[in-house]
Amino acid sequence: MELRRRPGKRGARQAGFSLLEVMIAIVVLAVGIVSLLGLFTVAVGNMQVAQEDLIARQKAAQALESVFAARDTAQLTYAQIQNVANGGVFLNGPQPLLQPGPDGIIGTADDVGPPDQLILPGPDGLLGTGDDVIVPLSGFTRQIDITQVFLPSGAVDPSLRQITVTISYATPQRGFRTYQVASYISSYR
């Protein structure tokens, strides 16, 4: 039996990819993989910065709560809740993050070194065991500013002050960063 071609049709073409199509597909795939690797690098850097941002946020809140606790327990009088330059007990300007001193109040002259630290669980995943990892927070600074609040008349409100806590730190990925929290404190407990 003999095979005949139909009139008007040429020989059947083989289906498949040409070399040019394969090369274009390889280039597109390579660009996609390189982009994903770059994205992965950025994500890892952001995770590190996110941890430092969380530390800054917690340390700012801790300082603010320390001031309120000192007022609420009558450990400090309202007159003492000011910066040293204004006759109070809170240090002026940026200070290293140190452990609170004997008075237990953060940001006062009796704070002691070494720098405050972060304790992370070690390889066993349990906090409080011998393999815990201690991370000193030596790259962080804290500034507690206590300022007067003015009434609409322009006079100083004698029973209200603003507290601003600023935590600053440097990161290799994002440079110098700050986190700031502000609140008001009144003379009333």
Give 171-183 pLDDT, tens digit per residue.
Answer: 776 788 999 999 9
What pLDDT, on the 0 to 100 scale, is given for residue 82?
95
Look at residue 10 and tell me if it is in a domain: no
The helices-and-strands tally (H runs, E runs) of the chain is 1, 8
Look at residue 12 and tell me if it is in a domain: no
Look at residue 100 and tell me if it is in a domain: yes
* Gap between the Cα atoms of 67 and 115, Å rounded: 20
Look at residue 48 and tell me if it is in a domain: yes
Beta strands in 27-174 (DSSP E): 95-96, 98-99, 112-115, 117-120, 133-136, 140-150, 156-171
Look at residue 135 and tell me if it is in a domain: yes
Low-confidence residues of the chain, pLDDT below 70? 1-14, 173
What pLDDT, on the 0 to 100 scale, is given for residue 66?
93
What pLDDT, on the 0 to 100 scale, is given for residue 117?
87
Contacts of 134 (CB under 8 A, 6+ apart): 117, 118, 119, 120
**Phi/psi at 32 (5° precision):** -65, -45
**For residue 114, cis peptide bond before it (omega within 30 degrees of 0):** yes
What pLDDT, on the 0 to 100 scale, is given for residue 49?
74
Look at residue 152 and tell me if it is in a domain: yes
Look at residue 7 and tell me if it is in a domain: no
For 169, counting Cβ atoms within 10 Å of its Cβ (0-12 exposed, 13-18 middle, 19+ buried), the class is buried
DSSP 178: E
Structural domain for 74, as ranges: 19-186
What pLDDT, on the 0 to 100 scale, is given for residue 86?
94
Look at residue 75 and tell me if it is in a domain: yes
pTM of the model: 0.72
Beta strands in 30-189 (DSSP E): 95-96, 98-99, 112-115, 117-120, 133-136, 140-150, 156-171, 175-186
Q: Under a CB-based contact definition with an 8 Å cutoff, are residues 91 and 144 in contact?
A: yes
Dihedral (CA of 175, 91, 147, 52) sign: positive
Structure-block tokens of residue 123: 């390889």
Q: Structural domain tally of the chain? A: 1
